[in-house]
Amino acid sequence: MDKPAMVYLLSDSVGETAEYVIKAVATQFRSPFEIKRFPYIKSIKDIEQAILMAKENSAIVAYTLVVPDLKEYIDQKSYEYGVEAVDLLEPLLNAFKKKTEEEPINEPMLMRKLDKKYFRKVEAIEFAVKYDDAKDAEGIMLADLVLIGVSRTSKTPLSMYLANKGYKVANIPLIPEVPVPEQLMNVSKKRCVGLIIRPDTLNEIRKERLKSLGITSDTAYVNLQRIFNELDYAEGIMKRIGCPIIDVSNKAVEETADYIMKVLNIERRI
């Protein structure tokens, strides 16, 4: 069996995408190919070692570097050593430059940074679903932020909105007949926000909620005195924790989220 031809892949990141490109090309040939990755190329020394190995093994060099000095050094050394070197990004970079009339940033690992943001968002959304509405009190100590308030104070939509910004959020409903989780009384006031609302506004929201469910509004859930009692109870818990309290009456979720990040001095993640 013929010895496989070698392709040395030099990348300033992991090199996964470039490997797929090389494999796609290799499938068009009957001769066997073997790919060896050289990830996280950061210096001239890294390049020197790879080019020398490529010369010794008669390998093709394919690279996906974006730093101009390193690209120039690969071209120079591969020419000196008689090694075939192919820049996989240059043709497309030039096409983008021509189309956008912009110069590329030439910063390594930007794709990896984007991936991290994406996976952080996915993880945060999964967290918000898992720890929504006090499903599991353990989430209180794991969360970046804990939202507390009576029913229908936008805790869930606010949790999901903040999750899309990369924050792990747990939310806990405050109900007079239900003891608050022990973990809540130990949470840092810098990681907790209390949500309050005007009684009349809450009354209307709850009426609309019951109507959408086809339930009569003649229940304690919409009773004004009951609502006053719930809000008093909730505010008492919030004051014991010492957390910021935000009135969400007639506020959009986005507005409340921005206010929370400002009050708690939270940096944007995504």
Q: Which residues are annotated as a binding site?
A: 149-156
- Gap between the Cα atoms of 9 and 12, Å rounded: 10
Give the angle 191-196-201 at the CA atoms, nearest 5°: 150
Tokens of 147: 């939202």
Strands (E), 151-265: 169-173, 192-196, 245-247
Q: Is 1 in a helix, a strand, or coil? A: coil
- Gap between the Cα atoms of 232 and 115, Å rounded: 45
- Gap between the Cα atoms of 219 and 186, Å rounded: 34
Q: Is 216 in a helix, a strand, or coil? A: coil
Helix (H) or strand (E) holding 87: strand 85-87
- Gap between the Cα atoms of 145 and 243, Å rounded: 11
Residues belonging to the binding site for ADP are 149-156
Phi first, then psi: what are they for 268, rounded to 5°? -65, 140
